[in-house]
Amino acid sequence: MIFVYLILLAISVFFYIMYTGNFSYYLMVFMTVLPILLFILDFYISRKLKVCFTQIAQKANEKTPVRLEVVASNPTIFPIANLEIVLEYHSAVDKGKSIAKINTPVMPKESHSMMLNVASLHLGSVEFRIKKCRIFDFLRLFKFKLRGKNYKQGLKESTIFVFPQYSRLDNNISDYSYFGIDSDEFFPDKKGDDPSQIFDIHEYIEGDKPNRIHWKLSAKQDTVMVKDYSMPMSFALDIFINLNTDSSKKYDAIIESALSVSMLLTERGISHCISWFDKQTNTLQSFNIKDEQDHIDCAENLIKTKTYSSVESPIYPFTAENEQINFAHLIVVSQQLQDNDIDQITSSGFASRYLFIFAVKDLQPQQPEISENVCIVRVQKDHIAQALSDIEF
């Protein structure tokens, strides 16, 4: 565009030489001072323009487009010929960052809204950041970068959390209600043998135990009343999710497998636990799942947790913090583990049964490896239900 301006300037000078009169003079003067005017105008606008996201976070289902909104506010009376917004984004798993550019004019005294339809191919969080903004005049003679505070005052970053579309499972499930793990929470619809919590009171029927008679209430009601005790939620089944992976495809299979199994257990009324190691806080995160709301809360925290890549044993964080815990069934969802890691878990005494769900790239069908109390099954994204169809949880 500088070349175009020079041509226009040369034409105005030639016009002034060839023709006399005020118009040719003023035209030449205008073309001469135009760069100065544009410089001052662009500098002024660059100090006033504001650019930001409208939402700090959004949730979306896998492969469902999300509308990411960026707003540019021009409080001046001058139009902006071209605003360039450079967005930087990256997922929770992929290394490196990608760049996207938006170019748009902005009218005076207006807030211009720009919508980006974002459809992530992978699960987890996708973080967007306004890396830089520049304005250009209509001749593109000058460009001015917006100062950081012009977009830091608003929302400079926005995150999309992508959740899986669960695989529909219909597996057999063992009842772990009587496993015997102490708990302060009780089933609302199951009676048991824990005398610390009364489940119900009813009139005596043949077969009721005499030691459960409620003597005070019986005296008031003038009939024998018997107490039913509550059943503690044992949370005897634990799903450990290994986030030590640098593969997006494996991560997708890991997350979808774990949450699909958890949803099946939730729908069947089986209380369970989901845990994973958070590298950022260096802590083992653990959630007790009793109902669908617990499952949703856990899934949101899981999706927000970043993956990591480490040469350390991927199951060390779990084994280090669970030395005193015993489960009826331990399900480990991970990328392929080394044989010594599998042996360390299965010989630890953490559980009575072990199920390893390994996310792999090989699409060849593989039969589950089943021994007396250990089962190993390999899954691929989009084939999870098929791979787990014969497994009993």
* 3-state SS, one letter per residue, for 51-94: EEECCCEEEEECCCCEEEEEEEEECCCCCEEEEEEEEEEEECCC
pTM: 0.73
Query: Measured between alpha carbons, how far is residue 335 from residues 101, 109, 153, 246, 263 in Å?
Result: 35, 54, 41, 10, 21
Q: Are both 62 and 122 inside the same structural domain?
A: yes
Range of the domain at 222: 186-232
Domain co-membership, 349 together with 304: yes
Q: How confident is the model at residue 61, as a pLDDT?
A: 84
Query: How many domains does the chain divide into?
Result: 3
Say which amino acid occupies 129: R
Report if residue 37 sits inside a domain: no
Q: Is the same domain home to 207 and 250?
A: no
CATH, residue 256: 3.40.50
- Are 292 and 279 within one domain? yes
Decide if 60 is inside a domain: yes
Same domain, 121 and 61: yes
In the listed set 232, 265, 288, which residue is the last one of a domain according to the structure?
232
Is 317 in the same domain as 254?
Answer: yes
Q: Is residue 9 in a domain? A: no
Does residue 220 share a domain with residue 243? no
For residues 254 and 267, membership in a common domain is answered with: yes
What is the separation of C-alpha 29 from the centre of its chain, rounded to a whole number of angstroms? 59
17 in any annotated domain: no
CATH number at residue 92: 2.60.40.10
**Does residue 148 belong to any structural domain of this protein?**
yes
- Read off the pLDDT of residues 263-282 as tens digits, 9 standing for 90 and up: 999 998 888 889 998 888 88
- Report the candidate in 156, 165, 164, 158 with the shortest Cα–Cα distance to residue 126: 158
Out of 200, 232, 264, a domain closes at 232
* Residue 175: inside a domain: no
Q: Which amino acid belongs to residue 7?
A: I
State the pLDDT at residue 319: 58
- Tens-binned pLDDT, residue by residue, of the chain (393 aa): 677 777 776 777 777 677 777 877 777 777 788 888 888 888 888 888 888 888 888 888 887 788 888 999 999 999 998 999 998 888 877 667 888 888 999 999 999 888 888 777 688 888 888 888 899 888 888 888 887 665 555 678 888 888 888 989 988 888 766 555 555 555 555 555 555 566 666 666 776 777 676 666 666 777 777 776 555 556 778 899 999 888 888 999 999 999 999 999 999 888 888 999 888 888 888 898 888 999 999 999 999 888 888 766 656 555 555 555 577 889 999 998 888 888 888 887 778 889 999 998 865 556 666 677 888 999 988 889 888 888 888
What integer pLDDT is reported at residue 19 of this predicted model?
77
| 251 lies in some domain | yes
Q: Does 200 map to a domain?
A: yes
Q: What distance in Å separates the CA atoms of residue 239 and residue 264, rounded to the nearest whole number?
A: 13
217 and 252: one domain? no
Looking at the fold, whether 273 and 354 belong to one and the same domain comes out as: yes
User: Checking DSSP bridges between strand 98-106 and strand 80-91, what pairing results, if any?
Assistant: antiparallel
Percent helix, strand and coil across the chain, each rounded to 5?
30, 35, 35
Task: Report how far residue 299's alpha carbon sits from residue 186's, in angstroms, rounded to the nearest whole number.
Answer: 23
311 and 334 housed in the same domain: yes
Question: Are 377 and 256 in the same domain?
Answer: yes
Q: Decide: residue 391, CB within 10 A, 0-12 exposed, 13-18 middle, 19+ buried.
A: middle
| pLDDT score for 256 | 93
Quote the CA–CA distance of 169 and 240 in Å, as a whole number. 19
